[in-house]
Amino acid sequence: MKKIAIAYEVVQSDREYLLARVALVDENLSCIYDKFVAPSGQVTNYRTPRTGITEDTLRDAPSFEQVRKEVANLISGCLLIGHSIVDIIKTTFICFWTNIDDMTDLVHLGTFGLDHPDDNMRDVAYYRTFRPNAMFQMNSIGQLKYCYGGRPSLKDLAWRILKERIPNGDTLGDAKAAMKLYLSVANQWQ
């Protein structure tokens, strides 16, 4: 079965986050898809320091529905890998508390709402070996931080397991890191 890793970036609209970019890589870490997404609502914060996205970046981007269809075709029948991918793949809206850009807020994340089989998804955020300290962990610069639901961040996993740093706004780097994390334990995960 082919393996594809997904990563995404979001921008803020009032108290809702909107999908703004999606990237997919194959198991050879080659980019097979990387597109910005036209916001489906009024953007109040592009979160540029975190995402690298600006108003100009999204000006001629394809619609959410177009990107949704393209991604659905690409991931059909594959083993889908990512970090917190249930948040983007399985639900239409998901509410959770988060700490993004040093602000704690209730987030409604509009997502793909695709019907991808659970047996064909590998979420590195939930893999037990990657979460030895359920509620707190050290980040990549040695500070103790809260980790919602015991899920370590992708940046922290990449640093702790792969010894790689992922710059902010590097959606392809996020997808590659998720794939590398999965491949590092694929034999035990099956």
Whether pTM > 0.85 for this model: the answer is no
Confirm if 9 and 176 have CB atoms less than 8 A apart. Answer: no
The share of the chain scoring above pLDDT 70, in percent, equals 75
Backbone angles phi, psi at 72, to 5 degrees: -60, -45
Return the number of other C-beta atoms located less than 10 Å from residue 123's C-beta.
Answer: 20
What pLDDT, on a 0 to 100 scale, did the predictor assign at position 140? 58
Q: How far apart are CA 112 and CA 89, in angstroms?
A: 5
Q: Which structural domains are found in the chain, ordered by start?
A: 3-189 (3.30.420.10)
> Where is 50: in which H helix or E strand?
helix 48-51
Q: Which segments in the chain show pLDDT lower than 50?
A: 91-110, 134, 136, 144, 146
Q: What confidence tens digit (pLDDT) does each residue in 177-187 have?
A: 999 999 999 99
